[in-house]
Amino acid sequence: MRTFSKFIVSLFLLMGCSFVQAGDELVSPKTAYSLIADKKAVIIDVREDDEWNEGHIADAVHIPLNQLDAHLSELQQYKDTAVITQCRSGGRSLKALEVLKSAGFSKVSSMDGGIVAWSKDGLATQQK
């Protein structure tokens, strides 16, 4: 039983380390709003077309996650700019973050909670 307990503790410690790393890459919707308003960051919305059409952040760049690799050349202008990936609730934007980092983007973060959290914070969206 002691071996099992050590395994569980080790597993939690490993999970905790990964959460700390992911937390360093997350930005709150309000922080994202401030960065966008000050022209210090660009938002890349990786949701599907129908989600985008329901409402999106003004001036966001829309590239669905499954098309991101094919559009990396279009994003080269942002390679040294702060880039914030965003989706509905945060899962796809973390995947997009990894794609961009692998492509050499140096200042990438993901918006914590996605557009759902953005709306909960009372921040405006626009429709197509």
Please confirm, yes or no, whether 17 is among the known catalytic residues.
no
Q: Point out the catalytic residue in the list 32, 87, 94, 96.
A: 87
Closest CA to 26 of 111, 84, 96: 111
Strands 26-27 and 41-45, how do they pair?
A: unpaired
Round to whole Å and give the CA distance between 49 and 57: 14
Phi/psi of residue 94, each to 5°?
Answer: -70, -35
Which residue numbers are catalytic?
Answer: 87
